[in-house]
Amino acid sequence: MERLTGIGVSAGAAVGRAVILTQRTEVMRFPIPPDRVDREVQALQVARAESRRQLQGISTRVAHGKGSELAALFDAQILMLDDLMLVGRAEEIIRIERVNADWAVHRAYESLYQMFSVMDDPYLREREHDVADVAGRLRMNLRHGARGPRELLSQIDGPSILIADELTASVAAQLDWSRVQGFATDAGSRTYHTAILARSLNVPAIVGLHDASVRISAGTPVVLDGTTGELAVGPPPDVIEEAQRRAARPKRRSATTVEAGPVSTRDGVRVRLEANVELLEDLDYLDEYGAEGVGLYRSEFMLSGRALEGVTEDEQYSMYRNLIEQVAPRPVTIRTFDLDERQMSRELQQRRRRTRPGLRGLRLGLANPGLLRTQLRALVRASAHGPLRIMFPFVTAVEEVRQARAILTEVEHELGPVASGFSRAAARIKVGAMIEIPSAALAADLLAPDVDFFTIGTNDLIQYCLAVDRTDDRVSDLYEPLHPAMLRLIRLVRKAATRHRIPVSLCGEMASDPALVGLLVGLGLTDFSMTPGAIPIVRQVVHDLSAHEARRLAGRALRLATAAEIEQYLFDALAASAIQRSPSS
């Protein structure tokens, strides 16, 4: 038995088999029972077939375009799908180690990466990027069949303990806590947002274990003591039995005790919870989790690796219509393609010097107006089938919105006489701007007259406000949602929306973080869009929340000078609130 010691942040004992979540690589590692091995291998083969179909389509389109010589790059990637060192090795890992396919592909790729990285030949070293593309495509297609941690964990036999390198509250909010008995993370502190969530759910938790996610194998029995901060790995039966006796504790609060539908705070403030959607399959969860609509559909996910100019207007229309009809009468907000030049086709990349560097989102659409017009035509046509809102991403200035709306107006006029219903439907389309960079937030009062709504995209807004790339380990610890500048930007946007009488919603990880909901409501926000699996816990938090107290909390937080001070104040306030609500108090 090995004993690891960290910081106990939520008291209690828990026993289960280890499930490993590596968020930096966005892959979960968990054991599968023998009777599921063939099914996991079949999922891998389906993903390979879908990846081959996508790559063949890309290769064919590129071969008939101006950059025809680049088609060979995709032909080489197709051959990699048949290489025993990638898919073959992944299948071998599934069968021998009995782990999920996503993790097996990641493991196989890591082995190839190590091999390529030590090669002397620069050309061969460069092939590592192609392997990374193929492995990423395989994992993307595998994930199309499993939509998040809650569903993945439902496939695990018996109680489990989640071991993660880090665990954001937005991911924790999606977990099935009837299966996860507790969690331990490499990173974290006592004021960790997820620690606050664990205490409110009465889930034993340890943070600050440094390298537990690397040292512990998936499926290993572990005993977690959230009081002492000790994690026993591979304990003998007597230690397990003693822990099981101590694990008898009051029943956890259920995240599903509040009925689906509209939710209000304890003092009657109405809060709207919508879902972020990437795949049509995610719509199955809207009713289950009580979403009041789709607050963000990321339209670029419909590409599934295909070149943007290869997706026709009719294909887009069919997909948007399907989405709108499934969600109706609830509204759907579709964000136009949020891509940058690296995600465009090879042909368009070759033309990048004729435009401007660093193009993304609406900027990129305006630089390629034919592609933007095609998408807007498909959206206007689809709007005849239910309530639709169009949102432009990465808006930087008023003139960009005006140019985009001018194209939309032209499209509406073109389609008006073509078929009955289009012009009437187009009149109902609301147009919004995604506020995700500081220039848009600071000019929100100038943008507001030109749009019908705002959506604050917190992930990018934090990154650009603080000059922090959260994927860069050297500075990722500076990515801080509670930075005073962020809270002030959010309040500034909300005030601008209020003055101009347009709605404002907030999406991103902050919306999915139950520990921050009270603060956000206190800042005046009442519309949120989040991962569907996070809605039940956020709903429970809102149900228990006093909006009056939330406003007082936000007012005090806005006067604090550092993120650490705000986080500590928030932690203390939530802890005191939890004690007051406790049945034993």
For residue 437, the model assigns a pLDDT of 94
Residue 193 bears catalytic tag:
yes
pLDDT band at residue 74 under the 50/70/90 scheme: confident
For residues 149 and 151, give the distance between their C-alpha atoms in angstroms, rounded to a whole number.
6
Q: Which of 64, 129, 507, 548 is labelled catalytic? A: 507
Least confident of 11-15, 86-90, 197-201, 394-398: 197-201
For residues 357 and 130, give the distance between their C-alpha atoms in angstroms, rounded to a whole number.
24
Domain definitions of the chain by residue range: 2-27+156-246, 32-143, 263-581
**Could you tell me where the beta strands, DSSP code E, fall in 299-366?**
332-335
With 0-12 / 13-18 / 19 or more C-beta atoms within 10 angstroms meaning exposed / middle / buried, residue 159 is: middle
For residues 451 and 457, give the distance between their C-alpha atoms in angstroms, rounded to a whole number.
16
Beta carbons within 10 angstroms of residue 295's beta carbon: 27
Whether 263-581 and 2-27+156-246 are alike in CATH topology: the answer is no
Q: What percentage of residues in the chain have a pLDDT greater than 90? A: 44
Region 208-217: mean pLDDT is 89
Assess contact for 451 and 434: CB atoms under 8 A.
Answer: no
Region 334-352: mean pLDDT is 65
pLDDT in tens, 82-101: 888 899 999 999 999 888 89
Examine the pLDDT at 581 and tell me if it is beyond 80.
no
Closest CA to 178 of 199, 153, 195: 153
pLDDT in tens, 118-148: 666 555 555 666 787 788 788 877 865 544 5
* Distances in whole angstroms, Cα of residue 231 to Cα of each of 115, 123, 239, 479, 516: 35, 46, 12, 28, 28
For residue 257, the model assigns a pLDDT of 43
Place of tokens 């989102």: 361
pLDDT in tens, 435-485: 999 999 999 999 999 999 999 999 899 999 998 876 555 666 677 899 999
Closest CA to 541 of 556, 522, 558: 522
- Taken in order 305, 309, 314, 318, is the CA torsion positive or negative? positive
Domain 2-27+156-246 is in which class? alpha beta
Task: Name residue 183's beta-bridge partners.
Answer: 162, 205
For residues 197 and 336, give the distance between their C-alpha atoms in angstroms, rounded to a whole number.
34
pLDDT in tens, 256-278: 444 567 899 999 999 999 999 87
Tokens of 74: 């995709």
Region 9-18: mean pLDDT is 90
CATH topology of domain 263-581: TIM Barrel (3.20.20)
- Taken in order 548, 549, 550, 552, is the CA torsion positive or negative? positive
Examine the pLDDT at 344 and tell me if it is beyond 70.
no
* Distances in whole angstroms, Cα of residue 269 to Cα of each of 50, 76, 493, 551: 47, 57, 20, 12
Top pLDDT among 448 and 201 is at 448
Beta carbons within 10 angstroms of residue 214's beta carbon: 12
Top pLDDT among 141 and 419 is at 141
Q: Is 180 helix (H, G, I), strand (E, B) or coil?
A: strand
Residue 385 bears catalytic tag:
no
Q: What is the pTM of this model?
A: 0.69
Region 547-563: mean pLDDT is 95
CATH number of 32-143: 1.10.274.10
Amino acid making up residue 436: E
For residue 65, the model assigns a pLDDT of 56
Mean pLDDT for all residues in the chain: 82
Q: Which of 193, 385, 465, 483 is labelled catalytic? A: 193
Region 111-117: mean pLDDT is 77
Region 351-368: mean pLDDT is 70
Examine the pLDDT at 347 and tell me if it is beyond 50.
no
For residues 389 and 408, give the distance between their C-alpha atoms in angstroms, rounded to a whole number.
13
pLDDT band at residue 494 under the 50/70/90 scheme: very high
